[in-house]
Amino acid sequence: MAGGGGGCVTLGGAQIRDLLDSKHNVLFDCDGVIWNGETAVTGAPEVVSLLKQRGKRVFFVTNNCTRPRENYVQKFSRLGFADVAEEEIFSSAYCSAAYLRDVARLQGKVYVIGCGGVMKELRDAGVPVAEEEDAEPGASIYTCPLDPDVKAVLVGYDENFTFMKLAKACCYLRSSECLFLATDPDPWHPLRGGRVTPGSGSLTAALETASSRKATVIGKPSCFMFDCIASQFGLDPARSLMIGDRLETDVLFGSNCGLTTVLTLTGVSTLQEALAFRDSQEPQQKHCAPDYVMESVADFLQALEE
């Protein structure tokens, strides 16, 4: 079953073997699925290695735009995942750069509300970035310089978000020719100790309100991330599995792209929320219901070790 309105079937035993036998490509979200912060989910490194040994193609799709792909490679290694290659990692920062270069074919600069991970991927892709100059004391939107070469605004996670950045972005978006992109729609992210941090989606919402425009979202649940992988590796959606912890992004992404979806319960979303989406009368909510539910990706171990 794939393509939305999943049945939330609890996976176990022979079902897991049958599911894996029917798929060639396995896409994992990262945080909440194979790790939580700086701790690998128990069994996750072994699952990834065994999938590859079984001849499966494994990819990692994350809306986290805070680090470039090379830093992800280091994190995988640090947490005990063997032989994860940079080309297997598709972050919203990398895909945003690919979109501006290959789809939009940007002729001009991009103004970025974001962090170092986004900047690095844009520069690696050869996309010109409008430099953010240090504001003069007493500077305001009345007096600050605006770059006439800006032809796109990209919003990502930014711990140094300011009113001035919001105001500048608004000014650029006054031109209907200026593209408006967001790395991802994530509203918030869980932190240790029960705290949360606002996500890219929160900053994008502020700019959408201020500019009366809607951003084109690059990350999950948009299909562009899958298109990005498929164009490089020739993936067949019907033979692909999406495993995530967030119903409104990971599962909806898989549903939008025609993939079979699995919700793991080691991250944000709960079984109760999944069942509520499944039983909803709203078609859009039904698309957020996973085909399958499992406690953890470690549940794959028994089937893979046989």
Tell whether 220 is in a known binding site: yes
Q: Is the preceding omega at residue 198 within 30 degrees of 0, hence cis?
A: no
List, by residue number, the catalytic residues: 29, 31
CATH topology of domain 103-134+141-217: Rossmann fold (3.40.50)
Tell whether 134 is in a known binding site: no
Block mean pLDDT (10 aa), the chain, length 306: 70 92 97 95 97 97 94 97 95 97 97 96 97 74 93 97 95 97 91 89 97 97 95 96 97 97 96 96 93 96 86
**CA distance linking residue 245 with residue 191, whole number of Å:** 15
Domains 9-63+221-305 and 103-134+141-217 share a fold: yes
Nearest residue to 191 (alpha-carbon basis) of 164, 160, 162, 157: 157
CATH topology of domain 9-63+221-305: Rossmann fold (3.40.50)
SS3 state of residue 256: helix
Residues 6+ positions from 142 with CB-CB distance below 8 Å? none
Asked if 28 contacts 297 with a C-beta cutoff of 8 angstroms, the reply is: yes
Give the pLDDT of residue 3: 46
Domain ranges of the chain: 9-63+221-305, 103-134+141-217
Give the pLDDT of residue 1: 38
Asked if 62 contacts 27 with a C-beta cutoff of 8 angstroms, the reply is: no
Give the pLDDT of residue 193: 86
Nearest residue to 27 (alpha-carbon basis) of 270, 185, 225: 225
Give the pLDDT of residue 2: 44
Tell whether 75 is in a known binding site: no
Tell whether 56 is in a known binding site: no
Tell whether 24 is in a known binding site: no
